[in-house]
Structure 1
Amino acid sequence: MPIRLINNHTLRLESFLGNDVPEYAILSHTWDPDGEVTFQELLRFNHMTDHKFYDRRKYAKILNTCTQARKDGIRYSWIDSCCIDKTSSSELSEAINSMYNWSQDARICYAFLTDFDLRDATDNNLEAALRKCRWFTRGWCLQELLAPANVQFFDSAWRHIGFKLSMCPLLSRITSIDEGVLNGSVPIASIPVARRMSWAAQRHTTRVEDMAYSLFGIFNLRMPMLYGEGLHAFRRLQEGIIESSNDLSILAISSKPVGDDDELRSPFLGLLAASPRDFEACGNLTYTGTGPNLDDTFAITNKGLYFRQAQLKVDTSKGLYMMSLNCQQSQQSEPESIYLRKVGPRLFARYCPHSVEDSVGRGRDDPTVSTEEIYIVATITPITHLQLGQADDYMISVQSRNHTLSGALQVIQRGHWSDVWDASRLAFLTRGRMPFGGYCKVFPSRLQSIDSENACQKKHSWGHFFLLCGLARKAANSTGLPGSDIQPWVKLYLPEEWRDIEKRMGIVDDLYAAVDTENSPGTSDMAALHTVSGQHMTINATIEVVRAKARPYFILRLEFN
């Protein structure tokens, strides 16, 4: 796209393209509430023999820019208000996508602070006075501070305040932008995405969409402008960043429950931010390594954010998973993480950790980190919230009154049951699938007593047994209540008994058929383990229905004696 420049001597517009673009100055300013000189006005004056800019106050901004540029030996100037034809949507879109580069290529940028009078400032109150300037709160002025190598500040009467390089410490304190970024010694692209977003957290734009559009250049993006899309513009910006970067810090937004009423607040959270303000606390973020992990492959899909190899840590005390974002607030702090709840096969949703109480019955944090292919729900809509609230319907939760089970259960990685196993809550998320069957190995020697740190019967090697459970359809629904036509079942097998079944059936895919070949399974079962030294352990398993909400779920209790 050609760039239109104002000839500082003739005050006429001229167009240039490619290598023919001459040196030019740009003006960075806050727009006057009464309006600015438009492209059409300046073009009309270009055809007059006498420029009457002095008739209107807003023309002074153009005249002073051109005058200062002439003093600096620069022949041309660029001003956003009058060098772009904003009546052309295509030109406006292309210009906005080019603004960062135009600012970067300028020989100098004049930052005009209309609400600052240098005569009222002293060395003691200069910083406080500058902080009050609108220029430091406007969205478009951020890229005009960052992109040009040379920025000169002027007060309301065009008195020289200082240059960006000499004012770096002061500007850094006002804007919370690293001095290295301001002086050009640190590339902007090397700063975590969330930290760059935090620079705009306290800035504003007149139009909602411009809050996103003004950040395109800072993230090296080119995207179409769709005025009228509202807050969706900022979502598009984040999606564009995700498409071009594997920086997980973009997910490091504040985790606040959705909803104004405590009773209506959803513990589920969206992955993407509503505005830069959600990144306000990310001003000190650094990468845990030298940069984004090259293995962090993720992409936006219609199912959510897809991760080919997500690194998940199980937090059984909260019934959640933790995913590190490979960034941290300081070298001494823990890496930033987000909490996830499993809501389906390979499907997770971000969850507010403050919405759950720690449970000693499931266990403590699992120090192991698993690598899984997963999807994370990106947006929480009213419909999505309803669907997520049903994720636990007909769940089979494995519990024990006296022991923590997390270290003792090993789900067999075969069949659909392994995909619906929630290791953080020790539960099968059946969603009412009929018939359903799942099974796992249980190692009693790995049990932890809730009242003690010692393993259950740790001095004995108990081997393992097989725990099978599932749901079947009853012949008739007697009560009409949701789930009253569902029959839960549980079955325990010793290793030698399970080997006999495998000899008959080979690889066991249909668990209900496997157990039904001997006896119809019921809601309770028991088994006994023995050691070579004559020690004896009895295992009792019961499964019961819990009607805590519209649809029931099931608790499978294991007790060891």
Structure 2
Amino acid sequence: MRLLNTFTMRLEEYFGSQIPSYSILSHCWSTDEVTFQDINQPNWRSLRGAAKIEGACAVSRGYRQQYIWIDTCCIDKSSSAELSESINSMYRWYEKASWCYVYLEDVEGENLYLSRAEPGTREPVLDEISRSRWFTRGWTLQELIAPKFIFFFNNEWQFLGDKYALKDIISRVTTIPEAILRRTEDITSCSISRKMSWAASRKTTREEDIAYCLLGIFGVNMPLLYGEGGRAFIRLQEEILKESDDQSIFAWGLMNPKADRLGSEDRESSLDIGYQGVLATHPSSFAGSADIVPYPSDPDRQPFSMTNRGLRIELPVLEQGKIPGDDNVVGLLGCHYENDFSGVIGVFLQKTANRSIFTRWIPGLAKYTTEEANQAKVRTIYIKKMRTFGYYASVQKCLIRWESVRAQGYEIIQTLNTVNWSQGTDVFEFYEPSVREGNKVEVTIVLERASTDICFAIDLRVWRLLVPEDDRASYLERSVQIVPKPDNIATEVWLRQLSEERPGSWPLLANGQEPRENYHLLNLSRGFLGRFTCEVAAVAIEEEMLNQKITVLEVYMSEITPHFSNAEELG
């Protein structure tokens, strides 16, 4: 641990039991901070950010502290290993500090500090303190909770008050209970959802830091991987799951804590309605979950764990009839609203093709009474870990068999609504429709005969159908339509229409002819001696290959014996 000597203004390094008593600084970063590289230069005091460091050192000397730790200059951030070690140790460093000085750079110097404020002047000072940017940053959350003694200063290093004197305003701004601020209640007694709610409205410059700044609060460690984006918050929750059986970690998505039932007019969610993973993607998902606490863990209940199928958990499950939708169920969590023992918290789940695997399909929560909970059946299920964006569950492969068409000189010139097209292997990928009833996907393949303007399109439509009575929760239904390019439309114009128009308007593009399966395409090519007629048919089926089920689109073309007249021979 590097410490800045407040008398010599030089960095010194200590390890383990050799670390002396020290103060620590909490502040919001600006663009002109003095870094580790800067402070090792002889002229560092001429830098704009030096005044903050000198002010912190002066205060520390006033409290008879020879050493102070300041994150801007005591960490060599050019070393990823040192940065990772420091961030994983930071909560402990703040916790072990003798004093913590909070520098509120946006609280003006003309304000009177609270210990000497005249009657009537205290409230304006408190109001300005509460509006400080310091209360909105992610990193300052642990810097508020971890230290035992915290002193607040304005931008001229005038004393404003300590954490205990300001506990009421701090609690109101941060939603952290006063008992935690007074340290009469340990942070480990708070539920996971409550601690997450404290960070719900906080911001960090880098996306990953909203996870890294919470490591100490949850008592976990993990490597830093800048560049992983929101995946960092998922990893944080995975690490928490290894250490805790508190199921309130799954109680996220409720924006209005007063709403207790699905369909309540009071409940408004700012999250997208759609398929979710079992883990939240940001602390903001816990904004309405501060009052959710776990029941004591059941010693007979199997521990939950994250697997490659998703979260494996033993839950009471309310089956069909309790909620709308044949494929929807509610998983009852082992938690409840604080001081309300009349019911439990439930999350909305929907079955996938594998009946033991579920996905969250509404981001909210619901309260179920004890009587309703008694009707649930305890099951071991899997809940998908990652959120599925939009209405699509996964990517499915489709193999095209079209040898007879290729033999006639046709090529695939365009695909619409495909994820990826691999012409060398005749395989394309499309988003598989979700288990939401009535949802479908449409993929279009356009074929053209070489050196001609003869084109036709194949429209593959895939539906997800629900089969609640069957062993399967749902299955895919496939259909194919074939549409020829009208003779009076140029190929470029027709392709643009296909990409811009909805498939439902295709009959208009085909001169009023209804697209259908096994469409007979007449007069597709003209030979030297006459007019040839070809018949095209297509069908989509499901086949199992190498232990996986894929869609196979089979396209057939057969040449019919030509019929021509003398006029056609001469023409």
TM range, smaller chain: 0.5 to 0.7
- Post-superposition offset of 1:293: 7.3
* Of 375, 381, 384, the match for 1:374: 381
What residue is the counterpart of 1:274 in the other structure?
281
Query: Structure 1's 190 and 200: CA in aligned 2 closer, same or farther, altered over 3 A?
Result: same
Instruction: Give yes or no for contact 2:467–2:475 (8 Å, CA) kept in 1.
Output: no
Q: Take 1:165 and 1:380, find their aligned partners in 2: how far apart are those partners?
A: 41
* Aligned: 1:87 with 2:85: no
TM-score, scaled relative to structure 2: 0.62
Q: Take 2:311 and 2:163, find their aligned partners in 1: how far apart are those partners?
A: 40
Query: Structure 1's 183 and 292: CA in aligned 2 closer, same or farther, altered over 3 A?
Result: farther
Query: Structure 1's 98 and 353: CA in aligned 2 closer, same or farther, altered over 3 A?
Result: closer
Instruction: Give yes or no for contact 2:142–2:214 (8 Å, CA) kept in 1.
Output: yes
Superposed counterparts of 1:490-509, under 5 Å? none
Count of residue correspondences: 387
Give structure 2 stretches of 5+ with no counterpart.
Answer: 113-120, 256-261, 263-271, 366-370, 395-430, 438-463, 478-536, 543-571
SS of 1:221 mapped into structure 2: coil
Q: Deviations over 1:215-272 (max 9, x none)?
A: 1111111111111111111111111111222211111111699xxxxxxx76422222
* Aligned: 1:311 with 2:319: no
* Aligned: 1:203 with 2:202: yes
- Post-superposition offset of 1:202: 1.3
- Post-superposition offset of 1:330: 3.5
SS of 1:27 mapped into structure 2: strand
* Aligned: 1:112 with 2:120: no
What residue is the counterpart of 2:173 in the other structure?
174
TM-score, scaled relative to structure 1: 0.63
Q: Take 1:71 and 1:198, find their aligned partners in 2: how far apart are those partners?
A: 37
Q: Take 1:317 and 1:235, find their aligned partners in 2: how far apart are those partners?
A: 31
Q: Take 1:25 and 1:31, find their aligned partners in 2: how far apart are those partners?
A: 18
Q: Take 2:63 and 2:88, find their aligned partners in 1: how far apart are those partners?
A: 28
The one-letter code matched in structure 2 to 1:115 is D
Superposed counterparts of 1:32-111, under 5 Å? 32-33=30-31, 35-45=32-42, 53=45, 55-111=46-102
What residue is the counterpart of 1:437 in the other structure?
none
State the identity %: 36
The one-letter code matched in structure 1 to 2:359 is A
Q: Take 1:158 and 1:180, find their aligned partners in 2: how far apart are those partners?
A: 28
What residue is the counterpart of 2:338 in the other structure?
330
SS of 1:268 mapped into structure 2: coil
* Aligned: 1:345 with 2:341: no
- Post-superposition offset of 1:397: 4.2
Instruction: Give yes or no for contact 1:247–1:292 (8 Å, CA) kept in 2.
Output: no
* Aligned: 1:429 with 2:473: yes
Instruction: Give yes or no for contact 2:207–2:230 (8 Å, CA) kept in 1.
Output: yes
The one-letter code matched in structure 2 to 1:230 is G
Q: Deviations over 1:67-120 (max 9, x none)?
A: 111111111000000000001111111111111111111001000000013644
Instruction: Give yes or no for contact 1:314–1:367 (8 Å, CA) kept in 2.
Output: no
Give structure 1 stretches of 5+ with no counterpart.
Answer: 46-50, 258-264, 356-363, 399-416, 421-427, 434-478, 485-561
Q: Take 2:346 and 2:109, find their aligned partners in 1: how far apart are those partners?
A: 46
Q: Take 1:291 and 1:21, find their aligned partners in 2: how far apart are those partners?
A: 40
Superposed counterparts of 1:456-471, under 5 Å? none
The one-letter code matched in structure 1 to 2:337 is Q
What residue is the counterpart of 1:219 in the other structure?
218
- Post-superposition offset of 1:365: 6.4
Q: Take 1:480 and 1:391, find their aligned partners in 2: how far apart are those partners?
A: 27
The one-letter code matched in structure 1 to 2:6 is N
What residue is the counterpart of 2:291 in the other structure?
284
Q: Take 1:290 and 1:147, find their aligned partners in 2: how far apart are those partners?
A: 26
Q: Take 1:296 and 1:178, find their aligned partners in 2: how far apart are those partners?
A: 32
What residue is the counterpart of 2:186 in the other structure?
187
Query: Structure 1's 149 and 290: CA in aligned 2 closer, same or farther, altered over 3 A?
Result: farther
Moved more, 337-346 or 319-328: 319-328
Q: Take 1:396 and 1:7, find their aligned partners in 2: how far apart are those partners?
A: 72
Instruction: Give yes or no for contact 2:245–2:303 (8 Å, CA) kept in 1.
Output: yes
What residue is the counterpart of 1:4 in the other structure?
2
The one-letter code matched in structure 1 to 2:34 is V
What residue is the counterpart of 2:131 in the other structure?
132
What residue is the counterpart of 1:508 in the other structure?
none
What residue is the counterpart of 1:523 in the other structure?
none
Q: Deviations over 1:187-229 (max 9, x none)?
A: 1122111110111111111111111111111111111111111
- TM superposition outliers: structure 1 runs of 4+ over 6 Å: 291-294, 479-484
Q: Deviations over 1:288-321 (max 9, x none)?
A: x3568783621111211111x2221235142432
What residue is the counterpart of 2:559 in the other structure?
none
Q: Take 1:306 and 1:130, find their aligned partners in 2: how far apart are those partners?
A: 46
Query: Structure 1's 481 and 353: CA in aligned 2 closer, same or farther, altered over 3 A?
Result: farther
What residue is the counterpart of 2:158 in the other structure?
159
Q: Take 1:396 and 1:174, find their aligned partners in 2: how far apart are those partners?
A: 50
